[in-house]
Structure 1
Amino acid sequence: MTFLQQAALLSRSAATLKVAASRPAVRSAAQLQLRSLATVADTVFPANKAAPKPVYNAPYHFDSEGKPKAVPAALKLKSGQVFAGTSFGAQQSTFGEAVFTTSLVGYPESMTDPSYRGQILVFTQPLIGNYGVPSQEKDQFGLLKYFESNKIQCQGIVVNDYATEYSHWTAVESLGEWCAREGIPAISGVDTRAIVHLLRDNGSTLAKLDIGNEALEHQAVADFPNPNERNLVAEASTKEIYELNPMGDVKIALIDCGVKENILRCLVARGAAVTVFPWNHDFNQVLDQYDGLFISNGPGDPRAAMTTVKNLATAFQRPNVKPIFGICMGNQLMGMAAGMDVYKLQFGNRGHNQPAVNQQNGRCSITSQNHGYALMDASLSDSTSSLASKGWEKYFVNANDGSNEGIRHKTLPFSSVQFHPEAKGGPQDTEYLFDDFLNLARAEKVKNASKPFFVPATEPVVGKPVEVVV
């Protein structure tokens, strides 16, 4: 190697070392910038300044010396089991029906879903709260962008590991702060796998979420009130009639049994003008003013909404039928109006991974579900049954447990599904069902538009005798 080659090699080596030495600094600066943008509780602070005092989100309270301390909590099942943990929500106890969800994401949507009203929600996803809670921002239709209603609907929540530090660009507060602000108790540090095994093997059970120093005392709970004995539909439904997107090209009457915001969004975003009615409103009195009828989801036992069932039975018999579509409880109410009964599932179907098979084409869709009751649809398999002879048939069937996932009429524009096609926070495989329903409603509008609104009376010609042909 010549002298010039050796010099060039040494020069390149020195340049390489210089670049390599500079890379960690560049990478470190990029990391610090990302952390300052994404992490809520950042430990990096400017030089020569004291570190900020730590901010303790719920579940922390403070002792007499100002030190944070955990508040005991316990989930007590009616079947006798007790699960001890730590509170991270409101410091008050509550009762409800313990149910579990297999959803991996979407806890803000699940907790604000009116279908969870009266229930203590157990999350099978171990880590909950890691992306905080978003704001109450609304979209162009005046609907909440990140929630399914304007408040937490479940009675309480149970998680394995609560993330005290959250990280998300839409977050404005922690999950614990949100629960505490809305008066919802929450517990972490429990074995949710064991709880789910109990609920799967023995069925959903009543429970108490006990908060405070006395929570761990072995005291038997005297009574477990059953929320399903209340009319939860009436509690969740709107009390007043209101309109959304009034300039839409097709008019839909929606019966609110506990409707989710994203159901409303899926309708108005497709151009529909939606009028929302309370669950017990007699929509048959005004149905001629609309192009379609929609029955929403809702909480609890569908047999508490028999007024809606009777109104639907009347709508099925109208000479001028309107397209009718139902979701979740809407499926159960339409089935009951047709003549079917309902039963309570052992532990319900709640999550974003439920397979539903379309009986018309054999296709299986992954769906989002949240229900504890189902239709008894065995009679629809018998072609000689009265329901089958009236034209009703199965629409979708759950591939896991064989339970009903929807019904439809063979000749009339009536159909419903047990799952949630809108699936905010979940799969959107079946969102096309909104298009199918609105296409029927638009066809109904075109049909009615071709009819005259009134028929003018024919005036007789004065002085001309009327000829009678014998």
Structure 2
Amino acid sequence: MNTKACLVLANGQIFEGNSFGASGVIVGEAVFTTGMTGYLETLTDPSYFGQIVTQTFPLIGNYGVIHPDFESEKSHVRGYIVRDLCDTPSNFRCETDLNSFLISNNIIGLSGIDTRRLTKILREAGVMNGMIISGNSEEAQSAFSALENPKEKEKLLKEIKAYTIKNAVKSVTGSASKIEESAEAVFETSAKYRAVPVTKDGLKVNDQNEAMKNGRGKKVVLWDFGAKANIRRELLKRGVEVVTVPCDTKADDILKMNPDGIMLSNGPGDPAENVDIIKEIKKICASGKPIFGICLGHQMLALARGASTSKLKYGHRGGNQPVKQLSTGRVYISSQNHGYAVNNASLPKNAKLSFVNTNDGTCEGITYTDIPAFSVQFHPEASAGPLDTNFLFDDFVNLINNPALFKDFKPEFERIDAISYFQSTIKQTKAAGKASE
């Protein structure tokens, strides 16, 4: 703790601070997340594989480490950056401190830097690679020395720029399965902390029998591309039997299980790189089985149906992302973690936008009108984050019970252009402001 450490960005900018967690030298993709709570869920979310995560909220670690809140068995981040580290956590559920957790997971941490300035750089320039140098090891001292020599520094920057995230999905699949709990344990915790299903009206369903009645006797295969544990928990809370399978499972093997529905999970990396998985998803689509995709699952389902994806400038990461449901006009606050998005204009004939991000107009949800399938870019399982869209799990259960529901979908909009949507929203906001003057 408190030894010399720094972040070196690919553009040559350096942030000096203090070391915590493990020591050494690592290179990763530098990103930021705006979550005010949920740092444990962030650290254990497989979707952050290969990334150096910066928390914009200034104080991190104040409630320590709580294993039941993990989204997978371990941390998957490359490095972790905070403004102020709390090394004396206070919470009745606390098991250990954040520094000890990072050491046990061999994750290098950096504290004491201006995270606001770093976030502004990433917003303006876009996500870029970075290197954290920490501690007194021979490797770290060699890297520190290189920064003092212009020629050696240039070599270091070339190494940073050359980094790419590889084999992301294969590297994290099955991590959440290792901390799976029985349905009974999930229900007990759910009741204890009132982490119960939430309806479209925002009401909590505290009666377990009521929450589970529609899902009893149904089986869902959770296709694990880096799944968060809370996806499975939300399905279990609705009485559904959940069978988790790894990312390389073939469609034929999934269909032999005779599931009532298939959940495509979240996960890390570029969705278009998963060519073999996308081919298998196409086969699942042809089966007529109800499908629900979240985050990476949403993107790969879209690719399987003929859409395209692209990388966002700095992504959406945090628990305060507003999304608009086009069929109702209602705006929900959502939890998100992604660096890629489905291109709105690329949606095929039988794919209709269901949600858009109100900040930039990007695709946040798709409903398919020729197969019983829908997907969202955000995280309705939310933990930690708002529960506004938790009802989507009930929608999935309802679709399983009545696969013909998708035929009744009547989109309010055939297409929506991100730029024109964003511009029209600004005009409406300005007009409303003038009218109130």
TM-score category, normalised to shorter length: 0.7 to 0.9
The question of 1:374 aligning with 2:341 is answered: yes
* Whole-Å separation in 2 of the counterparts to 1:210 and 1:163: 21
Match of 2:270 among 301, 309, 320: 301
Cα 1:270–1:225 shift into 2, 3 Å: farther
* Whole-Å separation in 2 of the counterparts to 1:182 and 1:279: 23
The question of 1:427 aligning with 2:363 is answered: no
Deviates more, 1:173-182 or 1:321-330: 173-182
C-alpha displacement at 1:244, in angstroms?
7.3
C-alpha displacement at 1:284, in angstroms?
3.3
| Matched ranges for 1:36-47 at <5 A | none
* Whole-Å separation in 2 of the counterparts to 1:216 and 1:286: 51
Partner of 1:133, secondary structure, is coil
Aligned partner of 1:406 in structure 2 is 365
Match of 1:128 among 56, 60, 72: 60
Aligned partner of 2:22 in structure 1 is 90
Code of the aligned partner of 2:364: E
Which protein is richer in helix relative to its size? Answer: 2
* Whole-Å separation in 2 of the counterparts to 1:227 and 1:370: 21
| Matched ranges for 1:141-152 at <5 A | 145-152=68-75
Cα 1:245–1:197 shift into 2, 3 Å: same
Aligned partner of 2:171 in structure 1 is 235
Cα 1:77–1:326 shift into 2, 3 Å: same
Code of the aligned partner of 1:407: I
Which one has the largest radius of gyration? Answer: 1
The question of 1:275 aligning with 2:207 is answered: no
Cα 1:341–1:411 shift into 2, 3 Å: closer
The question of 1:284 aligning with 2:284 is answered: no
Code of the aligned partner of 1:343: S
Number of aligned residue pairs: give it: 358
Aligned partner of 2:282 in structure 1 is 313
Contact 1:325–1:416 (CA under 8 A) maintained in structure 2? yes
TM-score under structure 1 normalisation? Answer: 0.73
* Whole-Å separation in 2 of the counterparts to 1:241 and 1:107: 20
Aligned partner of 1:155 in structure 2 is 78
Match of 1:364 among 328, 331, 336: 331
The question of 1:101 aligning with 2:33 is answered: yes
The question of 1:187 aligning with 2:110 is answered: yes
* Whole-Å separation in 2 of the counterparts to 1:345 and 1:352: 18
C-alpha displacement at 1:71, in angstroms?
0.8
* Whole-Å separation in 1 of the counterparts to 2:322 and 2:176: 36
Match of 2:135 among 212, 216, 233: 212
Q: Which runs of 5+ in 1 are unaligned?
A: 1-58, 60-69, 137-144, 381-386, 446-470
Cα 1:74–1:264 shift into 2, 3 Å: same
The question of 1:265 aligning with 2:233 is answered: yes
* Whole-Å separation in 2 of the counterparts to 1:246 and 1:121: 32
Instruction: Show CA shifts across 1:95-152 (max 9, x none).
Output: 1100000000110110000000100000100111111112x3xxxxxxxx21100101
Cα 1:159–1:241 shift into 2, 3 Å: closer
Aligned partner of 2:88 in structure 1 is 165
Code of the aligned partner of 1:326: G
Alignment RMSD (CA, Å): 2.1
Partner of 2:22, secondary structure, is coil
Cα 1:264–1:341 shift into 2, 3 Å: same
* Whole-Å separation in 2 of the counterparts to 1:156 and 1:240: 20
Match of 2:222 among 222, 245, 254: 254
Aligned partner of 1:468 in structure 2 is none
Instruction: Show CA shifts across 1:1-45 (max 9, x none).
Output: xxxxxxxxxxxxxxxxxxxxxxxxxxxxxxxxxxxxxxxxxxxxx
* Whole-Å separation in 1 of the counterparts to 2:313 and 2:29: 12
Partner of 1:223, secondary structure, is helix
Code of the aligned partner of 2:317: R
Aligned partner of 1:415 in structure 2 is 374
Contact 1:405–1:417 (CA under 8 A) maintained in structure 2? yes
Partner of 1:171, secondary structure, is coil
Partner of 1:422, secondary structure, is coil
C-alpha displacement at 1:437, in angstroms?
0.3
C-alpha displacement at 1:265, in angstroms?
0.4
Code of the aligned partner of 1:308: I
Contact 1:251–1:292 (CA under 8 A) maintained in structure 2? yes
TM-score under structure 2 normalisation? Answer: 0.78
